[in-house]
Amino acid sequence: MKLLYLGAGFVGTCSAAVMADSGHDILIYDIDQIKIKMLGSGDRDLIQNCLFEDGLGDLLVQNKDQIKFSSDYNDVVKNLDTLDAVFMCLPTPEKKGSKGESDLSYYYLAAEELAKNLAKRNGEAQNKYIVIINKSTVPIEMIDETEKIMKKHGVKNFGLASNPEFLVEGKAIYGSLKPDRIVIGAWTEEDFKIIRNIYQRFYSSPTVKYIEVNPKEAAAGKLLANYYLFSKLAICYDVIGRTCETFDNLQFENLRKIISTDPRLGSWGLFDSFFAGGSCFIKDTASLAYQLEEKGVDVSYIKESLRINNFQCDNFYNRAGSEAQFSFKNKAVAILGVAFKRDTNDVRNSGAIEIVNKLLDDQVKEIKIYDPAAMWMFKKVFDVEKDSRYKVINYYNSEKDSLSGTSACMILTDWPKFREIGSVIKQKCPAPYLIMDGRRMLSAQFDELQNLGYDIIAVGSPFLKGK
Ligand SMILES: NC(=O)c1ccc[n+]([C@@H]2O[C@H](COP(=O)([O-])OP(=O)(O)OC[C@H]3O[C@@H](n4cnc5c(N)ncnc54)[C@H](O)[C@@H]3O)[C@@H](O)[C@H]2O)c1
């Protein structure tokens, strides 16, 4: 089938790559020319630098004849007459300064432009049926807005559907090739049929749950699933982790073993961290709360997860002063990991952004950053051209170089290799020295490091004063 993707981000590109691999003809359009150049380069390294997703480069190179990247809208217009479906993969961040409302401006802009051009289809092309399928995470009633836009411009022969994306960044390609579920929300059997053809590879798979519902259920299911996951993290931080921080001799990992054995509870979400970041959980939870509050519902319980997450970051940082009597002023501090989690270069809503801002406010001498994949993205957030305070932030190519000459370090991303960093700390940063472990990466070595004189502040542990 002939498919158009609007938006070449994590969702659009990963989905398009899998659809190309499924034998469809893909055109993917994005307004970001640099992104399109990198992703369409056919060069695995450039693709990886742009979107760090395991397997994405290989899949795009293997299927290069099936997928065309463009930042020229004329290419979209030229193809409209023969398209079977359009996938909307636009950003829907939280509106700045709002009470959780989604910023739908990117979506509206793309939908308006699409509608205007679809309405201009001539002759035979007017009769060609096209389904507009939304993959962005949007408010529950958004499908009604999309319909209004199409009708306002006089678009004929179109269907609307919702196909929320459940990919997990860092495992997006694996997850898209072997999805646990495909959720399709549509109003008519005709639209369901077309989408079944697009997803034939998965529709016929015995291992994939192919769920057909209406478009509002699909949109609500996505928001509720993300809130549920986020709330599990908040409970882990604020109840399980806090209990382990409060009593001596409670090892978080041992409590996790006891709790996760119960299949009713499951193991996902039982990891302690200084913050749950990323592009989705926070904004989707805020959006759900906003939509319900607009309808007069008491959303204090939903909002509590957001409050806890912010408190967790503040508390982690403040423990340096309150428990280790450590001041960051005029000190060099190593930051290990700036991606919001392992296996991605995504820094959207990364807790490292909060921490670096706090260190700048506390007049730190130098922030020495190392991350195996995300430094390029992080540099864009702390652009020295925009604020001269950022000149104390420096980037290093190894853990060793970033740790060298520092008085404290903070482990902020759960990159597996950081579990081995204890030996580098011992070599480069003799005690007295403050280790702040925001991910419990060094939990197996806490005793040894404490006995060597290191002060340790870790989520899910009381303060461990160096001996
Ligand atoms: N990243 C995830 O893990 C994930 C998972 C599930 C759902 N989602 C949802 O999917 C949507 C997209 O997320 P993402 O992570 O891919 O975002 P992204 O920011 O990585 O990608 C969005 C892309 O859309 C492009 N864009 C903006 N305006 C455009 C326009 N008018 N025409 C064409 N392209 C345009 C941007 O340049 C960007 O490249 C969001 O609603 C998000 O909540 C994301």
Q: What is residue 122's predicted lDDT score, i.e. its pLDDT?
A: 83
Task: Say what percent of the chain tops pLDDT 90.
Answer: 96
The dihedral built from the CA positions of residue 236, 242, 243 and 245, taken in this order, carries a sign that is: positive
Per residue in 9-32, pLDDT (tens digit) is: 999 999 999 999 999 999 999 999
Atom of ligand 1 nearest to the CA of 283: 43
pLDDT for 333 beyond 90: yes
Q: Do the bridges between strand 181-186 and strand 158-162 make them parallel or antiparallel, or are there none, so unpaired? A: antiparallel
Pick the residue whose CA is nearest to atom 11 on ligand 1. Answer: 136
Following CA atoms 286, 371, 419, 445 in sequence, which dihedral angle do they give, to the nearest 10 degrees? -90
Is the shortest distance between the CB of 226 and ligand 1 below 6 Å? no
Per residue in 146-160, pLDDT (tens digit) is: 999 999 999 999 999
pLDDT for 183 beyond 90: yes
Out of 31, 37, 47, 162, give the residue to mutate to test ligand 1, the one with the largest number of ligand atoms within 8 Å of its CB: 31
Is the shortest distance between the CB of 90 and ligand 1 below 6 Å? yes
Out of 4, 5, 6, 11, give the residue to mutate to test ligand 1, the one with the largest number of ligand atoms within 8 Å of its CB: 11
Buried residues in 441-453 as b, exposed as e (16+ CB within 10 A): bbbebbeebbebe
Is the shortest distance between the CB of 236 and ligand 1 below 6 Å? no
Question: Exposed/middle/buried for 462, CB within 10 Å: 0-12, 13-18, 19+?
Answer: middle
Atom of ligand 1 nearest to the CA of 166: 6
What number is the average pLDDT over the span 204-218? 95
How far, in Å, is the centroid of ligand 1 from the Cα of 137? 9
Domains of the chain from N-terminus onward: 2-213 (3.40.50.720), 227-458 (3.40.50.720)
| CA-based nearest residue to 273, from 134, 413, 174 | 413
pTM, two decimals, is 0.96
Per residue in 102-146, pLDDT (tens digit) is: 999 999 999 999 999 999 998 888 889 999 999 999 999 999 999
* Dist CA 252 CA 243 (whole Å): 9
What number is the average pLDDT over the span 219-235? 98
pLDDT for 282 beyond 90: yes
Is the shortest distance between the CB of 137 and ligand 1 below 6 Å? yes
Is the shortest distance between the CB of 9 and ligand 1 below 6 Å? yes
pLDDT for 343 beyond 90: yes
The mean pLDDT of the chain is 97
How far, in Å, is the centroid of ligand 1 from the Cα of 12? 7
Atom of ligand 1 nearest to the CA of 6: 33
Is the shortest distance between the CB of 110 and ligand 1 below 6 Å? yes
* Dist CA 286 CA 329 (whole Å): 34
Per residue in 372-411, pLDDT (tens digit) is: 999 999 999 999 999 999 999 999 999 999 999 999 999 9
How far, in Å, is the centroid of ligand 1 from the Cα of 326? 41
How far, in Å, is the centroid of ligand 1 from the Cα of 258? 39
